[in-house]
Structure 1
Amino acid sequence: MNNKIQIHFLGAAGTVTGSKHLISAFGKNILIDCGLFQGLKELRLLNWKPLAFPAKKIDVVLLTHGHLDHTGYLPRLVKEGFSGAIIGTSPTLQIAEIILKDSAKIQEEDAIRANKHHYSIHSPALPLYNLDDVEKTLPFFQGASLNEWTNIDENIRYRFRYNGHILGATFIELQVGKKTLVFSGDIGRINDPLLFPPEKPEKADILFIEATYGNRIHPSRTAQDTLGEVINNCISRKGTIIIPSFSVERTQLLMYLFWQLKKTGRIPRIPIYMDSPMGRNVLEVFHKNTEWHKLSLDECAEMCDEIKRVKSVDETFALAENTEPKIIIAGSGMAAGGRVLTYFTKYLGDRNATILLVGFQAEGTRGRALLEGAKEIKLYGKYFKVNAHVENIEGLSGHADQNELISWLSNIKQSPENIFIVHAEKEGAEALRLKINDIYQWQVDIPRLNDTLEIELN
């Protein structure tokens, strides 16, 4: 086997979530990302199945960034017998710890609620993992610097390179023998208000590229302009704006944009709340890692002064009952769980309210259902009518669009031997495949879940 690389597509193949790509070569098994499946029930059920490759045989996990769909399976991996290093940049590991603890807490609370109200088919309902499982995972975390090659053995080495998207996010270059494998992770925006532009790879013999927005072009109008218009329209109705938001980077970006809109008088000075324990913790990561983003410590402090941070569940319930116009940013971004659901129970039926979607909504999530015009949404075992205005701002996405993905490839000098489109729904993957072939004349494959293939090293 020393003359071959074996690739196992264990996640994010044919879907956006559950990123896991296993590389086997020279007697080593390296897992790139270890994400949770989200969205459709048939995908979520995959989280409960043992990995298609023995966890105890995996030597190391390399993380592109801290999002749940790239790190959320780690506690299960450890439960299945993994005992190697879990390696990422310092901000990635800080964010992963926050996200995993939050995920475990939500799962525990959901299981308790399901058992209490008997709306689960399982008796008893159990969490996928709990806080104790997360605590057993954290000792395997090992930090890595940007742009430094690190050896796994004499034949394999890796390095992390800045990729925008969220704080700490990278793409990974993995040299196996004489071949260079590049894993894009999630590629950020060229003109992100908070983060620097992504770096670009110069060489890729084997390339794994995401295509979350492979069939879309972000609008030319600035997100700040659209955001201001949506807010003012809702306030004119004396309504409340509920924003399901990803707690990592998206919440901080919204805080920044609201701060700027207020500062320039483009929206009235109504109260703005951030109700996400995880979002509060991620703000601390921003404060600790100023070299990773554009804001100074003073700007961070001034921005935070404009936003009221909700600290307790009691405050959440009280705020939900408050009838005054306001803006509430709450987790989670696809409305899959978290405190935003409490606000949904009060405001989905309010004709003056606005539900504002600000990021990608995966298939099978409540956010996707709202985006597609659902007339009712199921919460806590009950159905709630949707009378509120539903708005979507694509320009706030932390994902590169089709043009930015094509640009990200522009520094690669020689045609890659193999290109695999991952982290995409069918339409996005196929659109990017055709575009890459048209622009670069490169052949591209779209793998399916649990596909395995071998590539000669020579």
Structure 2
Amino acid sequence: MSTLTFLGGTGTVTGSKFLFDTGGSQVLVDCGLFQGLAPLRRRNWQQPPLDLDRLDAIVLTHAHLDHCGYLPVVVRHGWRGPVFTTEGTADLAAIVLADSAHLMMEEARQANQSGWSKHRPALPLYDAEDADRATRLFRPIDFGAARSIADGVDLEFGRAGHILGSAWAHLTLGNRSVVVSGDLGRPAHRVLQPPQPRPACDALLIESTYGDRPHDDAAATALFAETIRRTAARGGSVLIPAFAVDRTEVILVELAKLVRAGEIPDLPVFVDSPMALASLRVYRQAVAKSWPEIRPDLMNGEDAFDPGHLAELHTASQSMQANDPKKPSIIISASGMATGGRVLHHLKHMLPNNRHTILIVGYAAVGTRARSLVAGAREIKIHGRYVPVKAEVQVLDAFSAHADAGELLAWATTGPAPATTYVVHGEPESAATLADRLNTEHGWTAVVPRDGERVLV
């Protein structure tokens, strides 16, 4: 009988790795990087938790680091097998992994130069060559096309509506079938079509990032506009730490709509992230080519991603000039959880000034700077020094690309109940709440697996 081992994404929203073993073949679904708390991050440096000589294939549900960012590590340890993705994921993951390697190398360089790391010397987890070798392994598959990916293992992708290319994965293992949700998007996503319904299956793995709470879209949009108006009125600027892939595009679409409706002033908008700009090119190409993932209303001929005064900051010198805006502006910069990247330099300059606003528009994992700001920290540590938090901090979860509790339940419970549902990729309270609702409201067998647990499929 086939087995499933949970190697990450349990008790946390990061590090997703699910290993399926038929006895003759092994397939890993997602190869995510651990982020957030130091004990989690240290796991990235340990020996890979699987026998790479026995692994036949890797499946990526989408291009976020917590689902694909560990791939260069297994490549660095010698793995050279196929990585099955959708076309959109292949395009975006190549950008994400290259940027991740660059940031790791740059952080190690700065740490060694400034001496703020306890490691001598500080080293990157992986480098640009590892990331490049990883992307050469990608084997794109169309949505809805069944494909044999290992002896006795078939794969089919369905649209997940989370980011461009995101998919749920339907695996057939002999006479058993499993659906892995990946990260599920929202019916109200501003760029993408809603997730496709899941097929019938014997086992379901469902994410639970927002498994214990709803999103309020109307209130979020109103607060978003009001925050921009209020900040501009006092002469300040708005800094939005945003995931470079998808969140930047969603924010740009919303800003454009608000400007055209006269709901916010027509301010300069800076996109300051090489990865976000590369991702934006992929999204624009998807719109131009009328990819089926894109919402039809965006394909009307005008640039849905341009609020009017959009400036793309490609160089470090351009980024530094935007650190201290001379007039009210909106800066969108990665990373979304403020774990690295150019956003840290903007935070250092803007946090001490009470005219400015830091707008947190997505999920912030425990142990990240964004989570500290959400929790009301009075100072945060950046590049070895503490920076006082005097700027306004506003939180808008409804801009998340993750389905909320009701949307997760609606997607999961359409169709016959699986024999077992495993609630993964969520913090403990969120996962437990979603599992309890599946059990009590729908009579399902839903469990929150333990890290390292192995079960029969």
Look up the equivalent residue of 1:191 and give its one-letter code: A
- Map of 1:122 onto structure 2: 119
- Map of 1:293 onto structure 2: 294
- Map of 2:69 onto structure 1: 72
> Could you tell me how far apart the structure 1 residues matched to 2:48 and 2:456 are?
19
Verify: 1:428 aligned to 2:430, yes or no.
Answer: yes
Partner deviation per Cα, 1:32-73 (whole Å, 9 max, x = no partner): 000100000000000000122112321101111110100000
Task: Select 2:140's aligned residue among 140, 143, 155.
Answer: 143
- Check the 8 A contact 1:287/1:297 in 2, yes or no: no
TM-score, normalised to structure 1's length?
0.96
- Map of 2:448 onto structure 1: 446
> Could you tell me how far apart the structure 2 residues matched to 1:77 and 1:58 are?
11
- Check the 8 A contact 2:269/2:307 in 1, yes or no: no
- Map of 2:80 onto structure 1: 83
- Check the 8 A contact 1:56/1:80 in 2, yes or no: no
Verify: 1:353 aligned to 2:356, yes or no.
Answer: yes
- Check the 8 A contact 1:56/1:83 in 2, yes or no: no
Look up the equivalent residue of 1:321 and give its one-letter code: D
- Structure 1 residues 281 and 309, CA gap change in structure 2 (3 angstroms): same
| Secondary structure of the corresponding residue to residue 320 of structure 1 | coil
- Within 5 Å, which residues of 2 pair with 1:39-188? 39-153=36-150, 155-188=152-185
Comparing 47-56 and 401-410, the one that deviates more: 47-56
- Map of 1:215 onto structure 2: 212
Look up the equivalent residue of 1:342 and give its one-letter code: H
Question: How many positions carry a matched residue from both structures?
Answer: 451
- Check the 8 A contact 1:19/1:69 in 2, yes or no: yes
Verify: 1:249 aligned to 2:251, yes or no.
Answer: no
Alpha-carbon deviation of 1:105? 0.4
In percent, how many aligned pairs have the same letter?
37
Look up the equivalent residue of 1:425 and give its one-letter code: E
| Secondary structure of the corresponding residue to residue 426 of structure 2 | coil
Look up the equivalent residue of 2:238 and give its one-letter code: I
Alpha-carbon deviation of 1:155? 2.7
Look up the equivalent residue of 2:369 and give its one-letter code: R
> Could you tell me how far apart the structure 2 residues matched to 1:79 and 1:449 are?
24
Look up the equivalent residue of 2:187 and give its one-letter code: I
- Check the 8 A contact 1:359/1:393 in 2, yes or no: yes
> Could you tell me how far apart the structure 2 residues matched to 1:302 and 1:386 are?
31
- Structure 1 residues 223 and 194, CA gap change in structure 2 (3 angstroms): farther
- Structure 1 residues 202 and 142, CA gap change in structure 2 (3 angstroms): closer
Task: Select 2:234's aligned residue among 226, 232, 237.
Answer: 237
> Could you tell me how far apart the structure 2 residues matched to 1:153 and 1:84 are?
11
| Secondary structure of the corresponding residue to residue 323 of structure 2 | helix
- Check the 8 A contact 1:95/1:285 in 2, yes or no: yes
- Check the 8 A contact 2:57/2:150 in 1, yes or no: no
- Check the 8 A contact 1:26/1:155 in 2, yes or no: no
> Could you tell me how far apart the structure 2 residues matched to 1:156 and 1:320 are?
51
- Map of 2:390 onto structure 1: 387
| Secondary structure of the corresponding residue to residue 7 of structure 1 | strand
Alpha-carbon deviation of 1:154? 5.8
Look up the equivalent residue of 1:192 and give its one-letter code: H
Partner deviation per Cα, 1:233-265 (whole Å, 9 max, x = no partner): 111211111110001111001111111111111
- Check the 8 A contact 1:376/1:385 in 2, yes or no: yes
- Check the 8 A contact 1:172/1:182 in 2, yes or no: yes
Structure 2 unmatched runs, 5+: none
> Could you tell me how far apart the structure 2 residues matched to 1:362 and 1:199 are?
27
Alpha-carbon deviation of 1:153? 4.7
- Map of 2:222 onto structure 1: 225
> Could you tell me how far apart the structure 2 residues matched to 1:96 and 1:281 are?
11
| Secondary structure of the corresponding residue to residue 300 of structure 1 | coil
TM-score, normalised to structure 2's length?
0.96
